Structure 1
Amino acid sequence: MEKRRVYMDYAATTPMKKEVLDAMLPYYNDLFGNASSVHAFGREVKGCLDEARDQVAKLINAQSSEIYFTGGGSEADNWAIKGVAFANKEKGNHIITTKIEHHAVLHTCEYLEKHHGFEITYLDVDSEGRIDLEELKNSITDKTILISVMFANNEIGTVEPIKEIGQIAKERGVLFHTDGVQAIGNVHIDVKDLGVDLMAMSAHKIYGPKGVGALYIRKGVKLHSIVHGGAQEKRRRAGTENMAGIVGFGKAAEIARVNLNENIKRLTELKERLINGVLEKIPYTRVNGSLDHRLPGNTSFCFEFIEGESLLLSLDMMGIAGSSGSACTSGSLDPSHVLMAIGLKHEIAHGSLRLSLGYKNTEEDVDYVLEALPKIVDRLRQMSPLYEKVAKGGNE
């Protein structure tokens, strides 16, 4: 088969769209002023900062004044959790999160637990990666100050019951933060309707630049700053604004909002074509995550009797870019914490593959993967003594 280049790792990062780059370029040269300056050079970019803030706000139905730009999604998550923790420690020291959060959330909670005496409850998830709302309710105490549950999981694509969580949080007088990095631009988000108090976002997941994100902070939420210095972002987040990045984020958010329905429909069709094809062509395969509550462009599989790292390298040789839920690619022997949390055995979790789709993917790309992947899996399984036993009719 003729080799082609197929990028299916959009959950990791996305290419910038041309319109986004074109919007950014003037801010590297002609429009170079500091938005905090009072002279004309500063004033002409200050207006563009306000416009970008409005574009991001419209994507999630927030007020412009509730959007605060950051250096990325991880900073936004850190700010939300630490900011609430330090601002509300007189009220309580208990935070509730889940076992499948991104490490920007998990490591922040572990830091508060280890160095500042906070108590953290890590909720279990079911086999699809969704939390139990009753367990959430039962975990809330009079010391609980924050619930932090991601909107959609970056590995398995499962979308959590955000509106129900927001209702529970409001009824119990607890703030609700969600990591929305994977969700924005992929699902409809209305922070007012969902009852979200804080939400982290990142530009490079929606065809914008890397190194810029935002935190939605509902008006009235008490929050400590974690970056001190100047008076930028209404004195809540110091540092001269990354104007080119912020303008790029704004443009990417505007494009995502305008194209959202079309994007959801197209990616859902490609996702279903890929999932159905993989399950039909490759035995001893499971889909990770929920099929009913799932991001439109996410697919995640586990293939028994193989290692995810070998699979990724083999796919790369065929020009296909994906990722593994297994941490072995970063030098660890432990499988993904997400896959372990949904109840997979170590030996199955090690054979994981995430293929996440985006705007450049086509049906031809999916068909190319469906032609290459079964051959690669079969070749790798031929090297496994466990698979040989199963193939000969032995017990698994």
Structure 2
Amino acid sequence: MTKLIYLDYAATTPVLPEVSDEIVRCLSFDGDFGNPASQSHHYGLDAEKLVERSRQYVAELIGADSKEMIWTSGATESNNLALKGITAQHQHQNKHIITSLIEHKAILDTCAELEEQGFEITYLQPEPYTGLIRPEQVQQAIQANTILISLMLVNNEIGTLTDIQAIGELAQQHNIILHVDAAQAAGKVEIDVDALHVDLMSLSAHKVYGPKGIGALYVRRSIQRQIKTQIHGGGHERGLRSGTLATHQIVGMGEAFHRAAQHIQREQVRLRQLRHYLWTSLQELGSVVLNGHPQQNVANYLNVSFKGENADLIIENIKKIAAVSSSSACNSKNPAPSHVLIALGRSTELAQQAIRFSFGAYTAIEDLQYLVKQLKQQLQKSNFVEFASS
């Protein structure tokens, strides 16, 4: 079987060799396998040092203090801890939350659960086709009893950037806690939680060339007492998340984030060129529309919908050549069209004829050139489109 070109980095990224080396070193008897909570011998103390070094690496990527980082099993748990942890303190008082229709399911499903508990949720409608959530919308949605705003920095399906800094200023002015899902933003854009006025931020390792099953939640020191613990059993992680720390995964996340910090801008320039090439080439194949903002985005994503009589043929052949997604990875087994694209105003037909390309460290221009060449050949064979000889 021919190996597909991997263009699904938004779903997950491969662990870098340098990162996997560090992970393996923490698994065997010859390495730092100890329990970080074991303080009576050097095995535990050595493991704890690595955990704290990794905590520092993750904190540095977002401009935080290491004491504000809480280890979790991933961004989904971080999102749950952020929303449920804050709202648990407001069961009998202020009960309004602001989010949007294009958030990750870890936010939307949690909000649905909170609605059943009596919380009022305002779901902001994104700008048609671009996915922008504007600060003015947030301003208009704020109520006297608003306790929390939860919005993602980079959308996981279309790559559109949200103006979190402006929204953070609004939240600060109204004394509202701001949570940001940054799982798809870390390592792609410069982040400074103080400049953005963010109180809570969810992070994931496997979107940044680290291992699956590990993530973190940034919790601003001033609000840590406002978070109600969701997992009990030992008081680990400043009492906010109990459980034996997985040293190997934590070290993997720390190393991945440390390396990501070193080449964010350079990699964005490289990927921007790849994205432009593919978008320009796809437009030559037939009728295609962009899902997401044409400028306010990260270069790692290109989400398009194909139209016309060629649409099914193009999509079918893309999937024979490249590993891509039709929606986010968490919904890939769901035949329903992407909730993000529907919220953008795309018809059900266009939402179902969408492809998300996502690029990463191992994506080369030769991969995209091969993809385009093969698509043109297939279209020529099918006599749908005539191409001028090159």
Q: What is the TM-score with the length of structure 1 in the denominator? A: 0.90
Give 2:326's aligned residue: 324
Q: 1:312 to 1:249 in 2, by over 3 A?
A: farther
Counterpart CA distance in 1 for 2:136 and 2:229 is: 33
Counterpart CA distance in 1 for 2:172 and 2:331 is: 40
Amino acid at match of 1:314: N
Give 2:113's aligned residue: 111
Q: CA RMSD in A?
A: 2.3
Aligned pairs for 1:27-42 (under 5 A) are 27-29=26-28, 30-38=31-39, 39-42=41-44
Give 2:194's aligned residue: 192
Q: 1:93 to 1:44 in 2, by over 3 A?
A: same
Tell me, yes or no, if structure 1 residue 367 matches structure 2 residue 369. Answer: yes
Aligned pairs for 1:1-396 (under 5 A) are 5-29=4-28, 30-38=31-39, 39-114=41-116, 116-127=117-128, 128-221=130-223, 222-279=226-283, 281-305=284-308, 314-318=317-321, 320-325=322-327, 330-332=333-335, 334-374=336-376
Counterpart CA distance in 2 for 1:268 and 1:50 is: 35
Q: 1:233 to 1:251 in 2, by over 3 A?
A: same
Using the TM superposition, name which of 79-88 and 367-376 deviates more.
367-376
Among the aligned pairs, what percent are the same residue?
A: 37
User: CA offset at residue 133 of structure 1?
Assistant: 2.2
Using the TM superposition, name which of 117-126 and 222-231 deviates more.
222-231
Gaps spanning 5+ residues in structure 2: where? none
Q: 1:328 to 1:48 in 2, by over 3 A?
A: closer
Q: 1:172 to 1:328 in 2, by over 3 A?
A: closer
User: CA offset at residue 375 of structure 1?
Assistant: 5.1
Q: 1:236 to 1:74 in 2, by over 3 A?
A: same
Residue deviations 1:290-338 (CA, integer Å, cap 9, x gap): 11111111101000147989766533433x1111139995243x31111
Q: 1:56 to 1:309 in 2, by over 3 A?
A: farther
User: CA offset at residue 372 of structure 1?
Assistant: 2.6
Contact 1:94 1:143 in 2 (8 A): yes
Counterpart CA distance in 2 for 1:292 and 1:225 is: 40
SS at match of 1:33: coil
Contact 2:98 2:123 in 1 (8 A): yes
Counterpart CA distance in 2 for 1:307 and 1:227 is: 51
SS at match of 1:207: coil
Counterpart CA distance in 1 for 2:216 and 2:312 is: 33
Counterpart CA distance in 2 for 1:55 and 1:64 is: 8
SS at match of 1:205: coil
Residue deviations 1:132-182 (CA, integer Å, cap 9, x gap): 322211111111100001111111110111101101111111000011000
SS at match of 2:152: coil
Residue deviations 1:266-301 (CA, integer Å, cap 9, x gap): 11111111112212x122100110111111111010
Counterpart CA distance in 2 for 1:286 and 1:276 is: 11
Counterpart CA distance in 2 for 1:290 and 1:360 is: 25
Q: 1:175 to 1:135 in 2, by over 3 A?
A: same
Contact 1:162 1:194 in 2 (8 A): yes
Counterpart CA distance in 1 for 2:314 and 2:327 is: 12
Counterpart CA distance in 2 for 1:310 and 1:19 is: 40
Counterpart CA distance in 1 for 2:183 and 2:364 is: 24
Q: What is the TM-score with the length of structure 2 in the denominator? A: 0.92
Q: 1:225 to 1:329 in 2, by over 3 A?
A: closer
How many residues are paired up?
378
SS at match of 2:299: coil
Counterpart CA distance in 1 for 2:349 and 2:198 is: 38
SS at match of 1:13: coil
Counterpart CA distance in 2 for 1:308 and 1:231 is: 54
SS at match of 2:325: coil
Counterpart CA distance in 1 for 2:380 and 2:341 is: 23
Q: 1:65 to 1:353 in 2, by over 3 A?
A: same
